[in-house]
Amino acid sequence: MKKKKKKKNHKKDFSKSTLFDLVLIVFRENPNKKLNYKELSRKLAITEMGVKIQIIDVMKEMALSGVLNEEPVGSFRLIKKTSSFISVIKNTNSRGVYVELDKENEVFIPKEHSLFSLAGDEVEILLFPKKKNKQEGEVVRVISRKKTNFVGVIDSFSSHYFLITDDKRVSFDVFIPPKTIKKEYLNKKVVVRVEGWDEKYKNPIGRVVDVIGDVNDHNTEINSILYDYGFAPQFPEKVEKVANKIIERVSEGEIKKRLDLRKTCTFTIDPKDAKDFDDALSVKRLKNGNWEIGVHIADVSFYVEQGGVIDAEAIERATSVYLVDRVIPMLPEVLSNNICSLKPNVDRLAYSVLFEMDEEANLIDYSVRKTVIHSDVRFTYQTAQDVIDNKRGVLDIELLLLDKLSKILKKKRQENGSINFESSEVNFVLDNNNNPIDVYFKESLSTNHLIEEFMLLANKTVAKHIGFPKKEAKNFVYRVHDTPDSDRIATLNNIVKKFGYSINNDSTGKLSQSLNGLLKNVKGKNEQRMVETLTIRSMAKAVYTADNIGHYGLAFDYYSHFTSPIRRYPDLIVHRLLSHYIDGGRSTDKEALEKICKHCSEMEKVASSAERDSIKYMQVKFLKNKIGEVFDGVISGVTEWGLYIEITKNKCEGLVKVSSIKNDHYVFDEKKYALIGYRTKVSYQLGQKVKIKIQKADLERKQMDFVLV
């Protein structure tokens, strides 16, 4: 009875598709062998004649589709149409990894064939013949691993120890040899470095290199985010040691080499809690009636020696990281918050762009100079705004002039096609224990726009100073922004048509005008959030590169980053290149420059992800005592697994799982950015207003679960 039952089950289990997969696996494991149905059946431990006949049919079909070759009759061999290529892992999940084949195609590789590779790893991929138009492959070699340190908690069962990683996109646990385990590692958040990636084992092998702190402690959790993204909260001792030896006082010898602007009226405008003042402004009336507006940027390049230990650390970090409750600077604090910072009432070295302008913001002339400055006043955005609003106060003439000029500059920029995106920044009010007790939105004042316009002007001017004319341009670091993706613009157009709007994509100029008009027209309407989100998603990402293609979003032919060398490494490179070229130096190696640009662009994304994770962590912390409460929200994201909802009142975001919507079976429509009920045709679309109830707050996963009400 047992045998008959087993035989019956086998026939039931082996569908044609299953046999195709099994047969293909055997041939891939034996790529040079000829096999007939008997040998295949033996390797697959199949004894039922009915299944063996199915195998013959499957092999013949595989021969017809070009996967196998029949030689001689009845024997088959794998046709080696496999091709290998080198690529980078695009992203990962618990099932495996995605590798980009080209801009429009990618291949999914199951984790058992991925050699423990992760997003950002450079790998060699072997592609197999397509099966039912589906591309398959495997990772045959990991050329370089982007990540070798992992953050998590050690789980122990019997005598085995494994790191369970905080990052749930990592599909493996890390085995830690018992002899390396110490008591102080257990029940703590730790950093583990993987030292063995041998695919013969089920898990990579690592050892603990750092103990971060107690699980669920606030500082531990924030530092865990930093470590997980590769940012150390502290600087190495050797870096701090060199930084602490730097002399703050500006020498008379250095002052003589520079343009001395210490008697020119100079001031800074920054956030209330800022400590690193990158930029200052100066205003001076010229004899011809025009104005000299100075944009002065901290001369970090004077203090950070190229190729030195501070420089090596700065290039690795590439950027400062701004988390909810702290800043992790790119440079040691003695430099970022003191020696380089353009603080009031002290002499500071700067790199300055001096603009001659008339009162209609027409640029008459400019010069780029190494300077020494002395800031007279430190304004916050609000205190400067108060002077402008009241038309009286400290430096009222200067501030009112800059306010007027900046508004003209902004208007001209938008008339030229600069796209007018506006966003509200979420901030948390924290108690003494760093627990969030309230949320508020940072209001953008006209002084924010004032600073923005003059920084944009300086960045554009410096880029054009080196890059124009293009034929004679020396290699430089540009901040570029490509034109929007045409397919996404077409999708956006189809959606906004339903609301009575349209987009003109006949040319890049008409498109930018059209998008600006659209963003203006949706203000205050129900569809505003959806249209703004989809417009942003249709845009390319701005990146650093040595190839100048212009900046579409700003409508600039030349644009670079010059104004924040304390917190961005590309700005520091720009300062060095500028000095080198002004002094008559030869063009720098483009390939080496591009490599640094690529690294800086990547680190910018990494820092942004760390910042988002810290916000998510605080949001969960803020809402964990509000389980069961009902809020108004807006659908901020739609996926096949559910709806992301942003609470209107506090901008906190959570997930409504598709499985929790019980009244129908919902299908994801990618083109409509919606979940649509199969039976009821009820639709949940991006930007739609909904009511939700908070169901669960998971601090460890930094995730909120909502349900619709």
What pLDDT score was predicted for residue 30? 81
Cα-flanking dihedrals φ and ψ of residue 554, to 5°?
-95, -10
**Environment class of residue 286 by beta-carbon count within 10 Å: exposed (0-12), middle (13-18) or buried (19+)?**
exposed
Mean pLDDT in the chain?
91
Q: For residue 11, name the pLDDT band (cuts at 50, 70, 90).
A: very low
Question: DSSP assignment of 68-136, as one string?
Answer: EEE-STT-EEE----EEEEEEEEEEETTEEEEESSSS-EEEEEGGGTTT--TT-EEEEEEPPPBTTB--
Per CATH, the architecture of 624-708 is what? Beta Barrel (2.40)
What pLDDT score was predicted for residue 66? 73
User: Is residue 3 scored above 50 in pLDDT?
Assistant: no
Give me the half-sphere count of Cα atoms (radius 13 Å) on the Cβ side of residue 140.
12
Q: What angle do CA 449, 603, 487 make, to 5 degrees?
A: 75
Mean pLDDT for 185-192 is 94
What percent of the chain lies above the pLDDT cut of 90?
Answer: 70
Where do we find the tokens 């210490």?
Answer: 262
The rounded radius of gyration (Å) of the Cα atoms in the chain is: 30
Polymer length in residues for the chain? 709
CATH number of 149-215: 2.40.50.700
Q: For residue 340, name the pLDDT band (cuts at 50, 70, 90).
A: very high
C-alpha closest to that of 330 among 351, 356, 304, 348: 304
Hey, how many other C-beta atoms are within 10 angstroms of the C-beta on 640? 11
Task: Tell me the pLDDT tens digit for each residue of 457-501.
Answer: 999 999 999 999 878 899 999 999 999 988 889 989 988 998 899
User: Is residue 580 scored above 60 in pLDDT?
Assistant: yes
Hey, how many other C-beta atoms are within 10 angstroms of the C-beta on 586? 9
**Secondary structure letter of residue 334 according to DSSP:** I
**Secondary structure letter of residue 38 according to DSSP:** H
Task: Tell me the pLDDT tens digit for each residue of 628-645.
Answer: 999 999 998 999 999 999
Task: Tell me the pLDDT tens digit for each residue of 143-179.
Answer: 999 999 999 999 977 678 999 999 888 989 999 999 9
Same fold, 2-78 and 624-708: no
Lowest mean pLDDT, pick from 14-28, 195-209, 589-603, 650-664: 14-28
What pLDDT score was predicted for residue 131? 64
Max CA distance (Å), the chain: 109
The sign of the CA dihedral 493, 494, 499, 504 is positive
Per DSSP, the three-state class of 460 is: helix
**Secondary structure letter of residue 523 according to DSSP:** T
What percent of the chain lies above the pLDDT cut of 70?
Answer: 96
**Secondary structure letter of residue 418 according to DSSP:** -
The sign of the CA dihedral 147, 150, 151, 152 is positive
Q: 329 vs 34, which has greater pLDDT?
A: 329
Q: Report d(CA 447, CA 404) in Å as an integer.
A: 11
**Kind of pairing, strands 259-260 and 205-214?**
unpaired
Domain ranges of the chain: 2-78, 83-144, 149-215, 238-404, 449-607, 624-708
Q: Report d(CA 481, CA 478) in Å as an integer.
A: 10
Measured CA distances, 701 to 68, 500, 654 (Å): 46, 41, 12
Q: Report d(CA 641, CA 660) in Å as an integer.
A: 10
Q: Which CATH superfamily is domain 83-144 in?
A: Nucleic acid-binding proteins (2.40.50.140)
What pLDDT score was predicted for residue 133? 66
Lowest mean pLDDT, pick from 307-311, 551-555, 634-638: 634-638
Q: Report d(CA 211, CA 182) in Å as an integer.
A: 11
User: Is residue 18 scored above 90 in pLDDT?
Assistant: no
Chain mean position to CA 548: 21
Q: For residue 110, name the pLDDT band (cuts at 50, 70, 90).
A: confident
For the entire predicted model, the pTM comes to 0.85
Mean pLDDT for 33-38 is 90
Helix locations, 416-499, DSSP H: 446-467, 486-497
Task: Tell me the pLDDT tens digit for each residue of 604-634.
Answer: 999 999 999 999 999 999 999 999 999 999 9
Q: For residue 12, name the pLDDT band (cuts at 50, 70, 90).
A: very low
Can the peptide bond before residue 236 be classed as cis, meaning omega within 30 degrees of 0? no
Phi-psi region of 338 (alpha: psi -120 to 50; beta: other; left: phi over 0): alpha
Beta bridge partners of 270: 380
Q: For residue 6, name the pLDDT band (cuts at 50, 70, 90).
A: very low
Joined together, the tokens standing for residue 348 give 């500071």
Beta bridge partners of 87: 123
Beta bridge partners of 438: 429
Task: Tell me the pLDDT tens digit for each residue of 423-439.
Answer: 777 889 988 888 899 98
The sign of the CA dihedral 139, 142, 144, 149 is positive
Joined together, the tokens standing for residue 225 give 């985010």
Per DSSP, the three-state class of 392 is: coil
C-alpha closest to that of 146 among 167, 164, 126, 161: 167
Task: Tell me the pLDDT tens digit for each residue of 431-465.
Answer: 888 889 998 888 889 999 999 999 999 999 999 99
User: Is residue 2 scored above 80 in pLDDT?
Assistant: no
User: Is residue 25 scored above 80 in pLDDT?
Assistant: yes
Fold for the domain defined by 2-78: Arc Repressor Mutant, subunit A (1.10.10)
Hey, how many other C-beta atoms are within 10 angstroms of the C-beta on 391? 10
